[in-house]
Structure 1
Amino acid sequence: MNKLSITGLSAALVLLFNSCATNPVTGKRDLILMSEAQEVALGQQSDPAVVAQFGLYQDPALQRFIENKGQAMAAISHRSNIEYHFKIVDSPVINAFAVPGGYVYFTRGIMAHFNNEAQFAGVLGHEIGHIAARHSAQQQAKSTLAQGGLILGTILSPTVAQAGNSAAQGLQLLFLKFGRDDERESDRLGVEYSSKIGYDAEEMADFFVTLQRQQEKGGEAIPGFLSTHPNPADRFETVNKLAFEWKQKLNLTNAQVERNSYLKRIDGLVYGEDPRQGFVENYTFYHPELKFKFPIPNGWDYMNSPQQFQMAPKDGSAMLSLTLVPGETLEAAAQQLLQGYNLQPVESKSVTVNSLPALAIIADLKQQQGQQQQQEIRTLIYLIKYNGNIYNLMGVTTTANFNSVAPQFSSTMQNFSTLTEAEKLNRQPERIQIKTVAQSSSLLQVLQSYKVPEARLEELAILNGMQLSDRIDKGTMIKVIGK
């Protein structure tokens, strides 16, 4: 027994030593449980899942802009040896994030809130900094170790230490919280990298103020690079100090800000939720592009994405989702769906839903042999054929809870119908509109001259990175919102 313990301890120490890698930024050895090749492979596996989850924002010129600036910055980073990819995803949330192996994503929501290229470049450098310093890989290692049993698991099975085979693992890494030291290091790298390609990194500090104001105003979730941030005032001061030092070091006497050129780039950018991708009003989901609608159970929460629309009661006891499924016929789609989810049909019948052909199926999740006994799961599925697509409305809950929640499932499924109301079909998103101030006055007066509603004045002030009391000179470009 003692001999086995000593052998296991020795193996664990060897594993830990071999799992240390030199950090490209600091030159120190860090505990990292994946090789660079595995890290790159994980990014490649994660990218399709990220794009499927959010969708790419359809603006080729803006996509070229982030790609060109990203590649210029990656070339001077501490990890210029790997291949980088930069994309704008179609989400209104104000966020930017990176996954291991060189993949960086900005939402259209954050692009809307930048007020010059220098702010954009600072955040871009921050995200590249996370990749350069291998923060995601480090956090993955810490997270795995914190779960316990890693050393024993690795000794028993060498595959435990490998980067996984599914995109879901990559998506999990998006939500790893970087510590304050990582955030400070990425701030420092963001200043360094953006300065090295000629931008005024002091603007990065100003953008953190915009993010903080936005979060305080709406209580919204804030980006990962802000969520574990040091004190905002300290961070603002530190970034400004670092920016000044880099200007001195590089003799950067004419650092770029590029306000007007950036604002012109985002003129017409979709702002907020895009109703063309589906929207909710009075607990009804409408999809103008696909021309359907259905009710949401009263009081349930919901979330829309390009992949699916999900609904759930606040207690989390059930879930109802809408997705598209492949198949030439309802029967073929049902067979593939049941096999894919490992479901055993209990009852199946052909029905019509508002004159649309459909299949209604009750099915149970099969229990795997050797698997620990869990609560039994039952589903109600409606497959509805409409306009060349097959829609899968699937309600999932425990078998014990099924009878109580099935009427809510059925009400949504049986009320799926064709969308014909012109006002809903023609609903357009709000967009950023760039205006040139005709007369010097306060921001408040300028916004009022553009008929901005009283309730949205502070929102527009934050969007412009200004205070309502700020004086705006004639000829200044500002953002307003219109359709």
Structure 2
Amino acid sequence: MKQLVLPAVGAAALALFGGCATNPVTGKKEVMLVSEGQELAMGQQSDPAVTAQMGLYDDKKIQAFINEKGKKMGAVSHRANVDFQFRVVDSPVINAFAIPGGYVYFTRGIMAHFNNEAQFAGVLGHEIGHVTARHSAKQQTNSILGQVGLMGAMIASPRLAQFGEQAMQGMQLLFLKFGRDDERQSDELGVQYSSKIGYDASQMADFFQTLSRQQQLSKTEAIPDFLSTHPNPEDRYNTVHQLADQWKQANGNPKLAVNRDQYLRLIDGLVYGDDPKQGFVENSVFYHPELKFRFPIPAGWKSQNSPSQFQMADPAGKGLLILLPAPGTTPEEAAQAVAKQMSLQATEAPRRTTINGFPALVFVADQVQQDQQTGQQVAGVRVLGHIIQDGKSLYALLGVSAPADFPTYAAQFSSVAEGFQRLTEPDKLNRQPERIRIVKLKLRSNLQQAFAANGVPEKRYEELAILNGMPLNEQVNAGSLIKIVGK
């Protein structure tokens, strides 16, 4: 995306044109360059891209549950006029997010880690809070006034990310990072909204501990938006507990629901972790059982899978490979469509070939950009593309690097493409996902003993303790429900 540059006078004019808007939550006037109508339009335009990128989770009961609770909560929010839409998306990542216009998404990964309806409701209220307080609109206003471009996350370098962003159809525009004040305000709104519909909001604080433990276990920096901001998780835990207590006292200490067993029964059978049917990586090979193909991954490269594409990047961030479906009925049509979508200019004539019995076409092209200092057209990145045809399906495997690095990576790009072949191994074709299994304990014991009695491997004790939101030494009564994982 081209950076939007506004001189000071232009920014001031825009601010005057947009005028001040009253924030629905605070009642205060604030500069806002994005109208409510524009917010709604952005959401309507972006929702198909989100669902295409991540996929909807195919479970009518769970989708009905989030829609019922979400609509009920939206009705008691500060923007009851918004037609909120709620989705559970088919991703194992533990996350929830909202985009402008009232579109709220929960991953199946986060649904697996809630241990009662109250935890779910607290996070749902938090995400609705981002919408009601117009945090996305405010962030975009600040970006324009501050002459800051919108940014997205990629697994490669910023230079290659510019190419990958186009492949992701602008998805990076949807995920704005909220600041400390916005997150605290959404925590407060999460307490308020979930309490209003009858849930114990202190459970949201307990869920922060689950997320913190999960982060420590995975030793990763990739954590949910509502946990990845500046407030310390322990501080947020204490603050949310205080807010929940204050709300109870101010409203006559009503009896509020937790609903642990009801929630656990709802998610019994939920897919846990990666779903093999969407493709999986094993021993540096990517397998796709549903589409029946496989290809190698360069040693040491990182990978990222989604329903719409598969990406690989070398650790140095100088080489990127993207596999995605291509439009058209022939490799030539597909190559032309990809070149148009990615703004590519061929540097040599494409050539027809065959890869392990699949008709294919190979091309080299540059994504031309304008040098901001000289104004001249220069090659931003160079692409080695392979269009591979499997019956009526066409796939584009695009190797991307800076022109100077292209000779170094071209052989690896070709090696991956030439390794594309039919998947025939029965154990890969029939690979089943793990699912959440809810079991009732027959005897009182601690959680670790309960795992052992239900055949959980010792190496997974801590993982499943986090999944259950308990320490391993916590005592669990006979008749209690716990989560384990199985095929």
- TM-score, L = length of structure 1: 0.90
Q: Is the 8 A contact 1:100 1:137 kept in 2?
A: yes
User: How big is the shift at 1:267?
Assistant: 0.4
Matches within 5 A, 1:330-341: 330-341=331-342
**Structure 1 residue corresponding to 2:470, chosen from 456, 466, 470:** 466
Check if 1:49 corresponds to 2:49: yes
**Correspondence for 1:156:** none
Q: Distance in 2 between matches of 1:423 and 1:435?
A: 28
**Correspondence for 1:31:** 31
Supply the AA of the counterpart residue of 1:144: I
Check if 1:325 corresponds to 2:326: yes
**Deviations, residues 177-206 of structure 1 (Å, cap 9, x unaligned):** 222211111111111111111111111111
**Correspondence for 1:69:** 69
Percent of aligned positions with the same letter in both sequences? 59
> Larger helix proportion, structure 1 or 2?
1
Q: Secondary structure at the match of 2:130?
A: helix
In structure 2, do the counterparts of structure 1 residues 10 and 144 end up closer, same or farther at CA, with 3 Å as the change threshold? Answer: closer
**Deviations, residues 99-154 of structure 1 (Å, cap 9, x unaligned):** 111010001110000000010000000000111011111122222322269xxxxx
**Structure 2 residue corresponding to 1:446, chosen from 444, 447, 450:** 450
Unmatched runs of 5 consecutive residues or more in structure 2: 1-6, 150-165
**Correspondence for 1:360:** 362
**Structure 2 residue corresponding to 1:455, chosen from 459, 463, 468:** 459
Q: Is the 8 A contact 1:383 1:391 kept in 2?
A: yes
User: How big is the shift at 1:421?
Assistant: 0.3
Q: Is the 8 A contact 2:94 2:224 kept in 1?
A: yes
Matches within 5 A, 1:156-175: 171-175=171-175
Supply the AA of the counterpart residue of 1:329: T
**Deviations, residues 302-328 of structure 1 (Å, cap 9, x unaligned):** 111111111122222222111111212
Matches within 5 A, 1:231-380: 231-251=232-252, 253-345=254-346, 346-366=348-368, 372-375=376-379, 377-380=381-384
Structure 1 residue runs of 4 or more that deviate by more than 4 Å after TM superposition: 7-11, 166-170, 366-371
Q: Distance in 2 between matches of 1:266 and 1:403?
A: 50
User: How big is the shift at 1:471?
Assistant: 0.5
Q: Is the 8 A contact 2:369 2:379 kept in 1?
A: no
Q: Is the 8 A contact 1:113 1:463 kept in 2?
A: yes
**Deviations, residues 329-369 of structure 1 (Å, cap 9, x unaligned):** 22222232233333333122221111111112223335679
Q: Is the 8 A contact 1:320 1:393 kept in 2?
A: yes
**Correspondence for 2:229:** 228
**Correspondence for 1:121:** 121
Supply the AA of the counterpart residue of 2:352: S
Q: Secondary structure at the match of 1:328?
A: coil
**Correspondence for 2:94:** 94
**Correspondence for 1:21:** 21
Matches within 5 A, 1:113-152: 113-147=113-147
In structure 2, do the counterparts of structure 1 residues 172 and 336 end up closer, same or farther at CA, with 3 Å as the change threshold? Answer: closer
Q: Is the 8 A contact 1:49 1:167 kept in 2?
A: no
Q: Distance in 2 between matches of 1:11 and 1:469?
A: 58
In structure 2, do the counterparts of structure 1 residues 206 and 377 end up closer, same or farther at CA, with 3 Å as the change threshold? Answer: closer
Unmatched runs of 5 consecutive residues or more in structure 1: 1-6, 150-165
Matches within 5 A, 1:369-408: 372-375=376-379, 377-408=381-412
**Deviations, residues 415-449 of structure 1 (Å, cap 9, x unaligned):** 10000000111111111000000100111100111
User: How big is the shift at 1:57?
Assistant: 0.8
**Deviations, residues 380-400 of structure 1 (Å, cap 9, x unaligned):** 221111143111111122333
**Deviations, residues 194-226 of structure 1 (Å, cap 9, x unaligned):** 111111111111111111111122223221111
Q: Is the 8 A contact 1:127 1:190 kept in 2?
A: yes
- Matched residue count: 461
User: How big is the shift at 1:482?
Assistant: 0.4
In structure 2, do the counterparts of structure 1 residues 8 and 234 end up closer, same or farther at CA, with 3 Å as the change threshold? Answer: closer
**Structure 1 residue corresponding to 2:479, chosen from 437, 462, 475:** 475
Supply the AA of the counterpart residue of 1:215: Q
Q: Secondary structure at the match of 1:347?
A: coil
Supply the AA of the counterpart residue of 1:410: S
Query: Quick check: 411-420 or 39-48, which moved more?
Result: 39-48
**Correspondence for 2:157:** none
Supply the AA of the counterpart residue of 1:347: A
- TM-score, L = length of structure 2: 0.89
Supply the AA of the counterpart residue of 1:356: F
Q: Is the 8 A contact 2:18 2:32 kept in 1?
A: no
- What is the alpha-carbon root mean square deviation over aligned residues? 2.4
Q: Is the 8 A contact 1:84 1:101 kept in 2?
A: yes
Q: Is the 8 A contact 2:11 2:145 kept in 1?
A: no
**Correspondence for 1:155:** none
Q: Is the 8 A contact 2:292 2:422 kept in 1?
A: yes
Q: Secondary structure at the match of 2:350?
A: strand
**Correspondence for 2:59:** 59
Q: Is the 8 A contact 2:95 2:224 kept in 1?
A: yes
Q: Distance in 1 between matches of 2:8 and 2:182?
A: 32
Query: Quick check: 60-69 or 382-391, which moved more?
Result: 382-391
In structure 2, do the counterparts of structure 1 residues 246 and 177 end up closer, same or farther at CA, with 3 Å as the change threshold? Answer: same
Query: Quick check: 110-119 or 133-142, which moved more?
Result: 133-142
Q: Is the 8 A contact 2:286 2:294 kept in 1?
A: yes
Q: Is the 8 A contact 1:198 1:252 kept in 2?
A: no
**Deviations, residues 221-245 of structure 1 (Å, cap 9, x unaligned):** 2211111252333322222222223
Q: Secondary structure at the match of 2:26?
A: coil
Q: Distance in 2 between matches of 1:458 and 1:398?
A: 43
Matches within 5 A, 1:186-205: 186-205=186-205
